[in-house]
Amino acid sequence: MQRTELKKLIRQAIIDDLNEISILAQKVREDMLSHGLNQWIGNYPEYNDFYKDLKNNGLYVLEKDNEIIGSITILIENEKAYKEVIWNTSKALVVHRVIVNPKYQKKGFGKMLIDFSISKALKEGFEAVKIDTHPDNFKMQRLLKSLDFSYRGYLTSINRLAFELVV
């Protein structure tokens, strides 16, 4: 997919998107749990998490046929837990809460969202994109490895594996 097409599908979220994103997150959480992945438990992520992302100008949505089918949060690095590993860079964007509607998974939309974060990092002069994921989230780990992210270590305080892509 061309970058111009990518930009048409992904846009910054607005307040009116939050209910739809929250419902989508619930579907994704239920799908993860049904496959034995306990990455998101309880009500996480929920409306307030996405509201904070929106207020920090880091929430984006992926639309197809006027329906939000995914979202991603991209923020400037400030993760306390990230101090637990050695990174290759210090000026990075960090990806959080990548969600794709289960009926649209395995169609390249997750890759599209991560590619968007990489493009954003390049455009805005960051050195890298960082992301963490649950040790059992093999789908995300495969995706990150296919995009040349390198494994940086285990974040003990949050039970996550850390990955980085130098851009």
Domain that holds residue 41: 3-166
Q: What is residue 1's predicted lDDT score, i.e. its pLDDT?
A: 47
Give backbone dihedrals phi and psi of 17, rounded to 5 degrees, phi first.
-85, -15
Question: For 118-134, how does the pLDDT look when each residue is reduced to its tens digit (9 = 90+)?
Answer: 999 999 999 999 999 99
Query: Which DSSP letter does residue 1 get?
Result: -
Q: Which residues of the chain have pLDDT under 70?
A: 1-8
How many domains in the chain?
A: 1
CATH number for the domain spanning 28: value is: 3.40.630.30
Q: What is residue 38's predicted lDDT score, i.e. its pLDDT?
A: 77
Q: What is residue 34's predicted lDDT score, i.e. its pLDDT?
A: 87
* Segments in 10-80 forming alpha helices (H): 18-34, 47-55
128 touches 114 (CB < 8 A): no
Q: What is residue 8's predicted lDDT score, i.e. its pLDDT?
A: 66
Query: Which DSSP letter does residue 2 get?
Result: -
What separation in angstroms does the CA of 11 have from each of 61, 70, 128?
Answer: 6, 11, 21
Whole-model pTM over 0.85: yes
122 touches 95 (CB < 8 A): no
